[in-house]
Amino acid sequence: MNILVTGAAGYIGSHACKRLLKDGHSVVALDNLLRGHRAPMDLLAARAGGRLTFLDRDVNDTPALEEVLKRHRVESVMHFAALAAVGESVQQPLLYYRNNVAGMVSLLEACDATGVSRLVFSSSCSTYGQPPERLVPIPETCPQHPISPYGRTKLMGEHLLADYAHGQRLAGRPFAHAALRYFNVAGADLEGELGEDHSPETHLIPVVLHAALGRRDGVDIFGVDYPTPDGTCIRDYIHVDDLVDAHVAVLGALKPGDGLAFNLGIGRGFSVRQVIRAACAVTRTEIPTREGPRRPGDPPRLFADPAAIQRTLGWSAKVTDLHRIIESAWAWFRAHPNGYRSG
Ligand code: UDP
């Protein structure tokens, strides 16, 4: 199949490209390189035998998208391109609405103009906001009340897809789509070639591993007075390869006119202290920690009820051991202590 991957040079997009190429697909990899990296694209292209075309383009460039979809006879889209830092979205909301919401409008306009009728969208558990404790583990039916501009852009993406698909159905052009609501994506390519390289880095596992590498002097624990067994927040960490595997399963199962939404998580949570302890064991390092105040907007416990995708598609996460998730990230960080700049 010919597949457009937007945000292809980012953390999750690059892992998706690798998997799609392995499965024999042809990939048009689009990224504006605002946050993505050229290096993983070059690495994958070098052995793709012409099946990977990298394009340094923005999803808001609708004419360029149309041209790309036509020229490469694209049949399906995996839409990862987005900005994804919650704190930054509070400070620069328009940047987020421009990239994440206007970007989706532009992409759907290009799909409309060229007849592309299948799309898988990276949504987020942040669309649920702070669900009531009784709804954790969180099912897809949990009310979606995001509490950050980032979460709202993802929810708007879901609404855009549903409304566009409805219009297409009325016009007799069924459009199939799926919104995949990610929990905490973590780890790195199990073959060690691809990893996570954000700057600045804010996510817990890479922050802890940066501290283990000496790239920072320690880890701040954001809140130790939560109503959880050890007082720190609990999150559902899903390995990036499992996440990509779910995208492949969903894309393969989409039938004309489908509109699906699935949570992607392992279905259990680990606390901040459990993550730090596991990272100390994996890295054989004493990672210094500082107990600090809560970070605004962090709910105590967030983990998925992943039963729906398991029931519908038979998909479940394979890497559910926290140590293995951290080991995969650690292998990449050790080989690339300065991220992709390390070569
Ligand atoms: N966290 C922390 N220190 C850090 C980064 C994160 O204590 O330096 C906590 C954060 O408060 C949350 C959990 O780790 O409870 C996961 O945070 P992350 O930013 O990785 O993902 P989020 O759950 O916000 O999407």
Tens digits of residue pLDDT in 194-235: 999 998 899 999 999 999 999 999 999 999 999 999 999 999
pLDDT at 296: 85
CA of 272 to the centre of ligand 1 (A): 7
Fold assignment, 2-185+237-265: Rossmann fold (3.40.50)
Quote the pTM value. Answer: 0.97
CA nearest ligand 1 atom 19, residue: 203
User: What does residue 271 show for φ and ψ, rounded to 5 degrees?
Assistant: -80, 165
Token pair recorded at residue 282? 């994996």
**Cα separations in angstroms, 254 against 25, 232, 250, 260:** 16, 39, 6, 8
pLDDT range class, residue 343, cuts 50, 70, 90: low
Residue from 248, 257, 258 nearest 78 by CA: 248
Q: Is 144 exposed, middle or buried (0-12, 13-18, 19+ CB in 10 A)?
A: buried
Report how far residue 209's alpha carbon sits from residue 278's, in angstroms, rounded to the nearest whole number. 11
Report how far residue 183's alpha carbon sits from residue 172's, in angstroms, rounded to the nearest whole number. 35
226 an active-site residue?
no
User: What percentage of the chain reaches a pLDDT higher than 70?
Assistant: 100
CA of 201 to the centre of ligand 1 (A): 11
Distance of CA 96 to the CA centre of its chain: 15
Tell me the mean pLDDT in the region 301-305.
96
pLDDT at 32: 97
Residue with tokens 């302890």: 277
User: What percentage of the chain reaches a pLDDT higher than 90?
Assistant: 97
What are the pocket residues of ligand 1 if the criterion is a CB atom closer than 6 Å to any ligand atom? Answer: 184, 202-204, 207, 219-222, 233, 235, 272, 295, 298
Mean pLDDT of the chain: 97
pLDDT at 297: 82
Tell me the mean pLDDT in the region 311-331.
98
**pLDDT tops 90 at residue 238:** yes
pLDDT at 342: 73
With the most atoms of ligand 1 within 8 angstroms of its CB, the residue from 235, 264, 274, 303 to mutate is 235
**pLDDT tops 80 at residue 188:** yes
CA nearest ligand 1 atom 20, residue: 203
Q: Is 171 exposed, middle or buried (0-12, 13-18, 19+ CB in 10 A)?
A: exposed
